Amino acid sequence: MKLYKGLSVIGITATFLLTACGGGNSSVGSRSFISGNGAVTFKSPDTRKSAPDISGPTLDGGKYQIQKGQVTVINVWASWCAPCRAEAPALASLSQTFPKVSFVGILTRDNLPTAKAFVKRFNLPYPTLIDDAILLEFRGTLSANAIPTTIVVDKQGRVAGRISGQITVASLTDLIERVSAE
């Protein structure tokens, strides 16, 4: 039985069933994303480009502004992302281990109530920006190419490194220590 330009009842039914299997998650971002493999990229100081202005409203209703003169770790995450949940305790711990390093999250493709529950669940002690349009400004540097992505900015405000995918304590500690020692 043909309905419209070659679409059949079976085709329409199959399309409906496949698109209806969203898993019940209310987050639009959970439908498709790229998960990285944890690859670490480090740029030598002479090849680094300036990071964009990292500032804006935070999940807790405050405002954040990146501070030059200190190393900054930027973690791009979403509450529905399994690798993000897996790395959250390590990020919280490392933010306490390195008190002279600024940590900030950037929420992407998520809803605010679920993200607030995530922050509370994992006791993240650092702010999270809620405007992921900032990520577009990383073009031409080491941009966020997966969820999660962690970017390290040096004391001069330049993008020094990136972990594409879930961090490990060892990989992020090494990156922080290398950039902090400069």
Window from 3-17, 67-81, 130-144 with minimum mean pLDDT: 3-17
Of the candidates 38, 44, 64, 37, the one whose C-alpha atom is nearest the C-alpha of residue 128 is 64
Residue 65 lies in a domain: yes
145: DSSP letter: -
Q: What pLDDT, on the 0 to 100 scale, is given for residue 154?
A: 97
The DSSP secondary structure of 75-124, one letter per residue, reads EEE-TT-HHHHHHHHHHHHHHHH-TTSEEEEEE-S--HHHHHHHHHHHT-
Residue 42 included in any domain? yes
Q: Is residue 3 part of a domain?
A: no
Q: What percent of the chain has pLDDT over 70?
A: 80
Residue-range definition of the domain harbouring residue 144: 27-180
pTM to 2 decimal places: 0.79
Tell me: pLDDT of 66 over 70. Answer: yes
Supply the pLDDT for residue 35. 56
In a domain, 14, yes or no: no
Residue 105 lies in a domain: yes
Q: Which of 5-9, 30-34, 49-53 has the highest mean pLDDT?
A: 49-53
Domain tally, the chain: 1
CATH number, domain with residue 169: 3.40.30.10
* 148 inside domain: yes
Report if residue 6 sits inside a domain: no
User: What residues contact residue 5 under an 8 Å CB cut-off, 6+ apart?
Assistant: none
16 occurs within a structural domain: no
Q: Exposed, middle or buried by CB within 10 Å (0-12, 13-18, 19+), for 26?
A: exposed
Quick: pLDDT tens for 38-61: 789 999 999 999 999 999 999 999
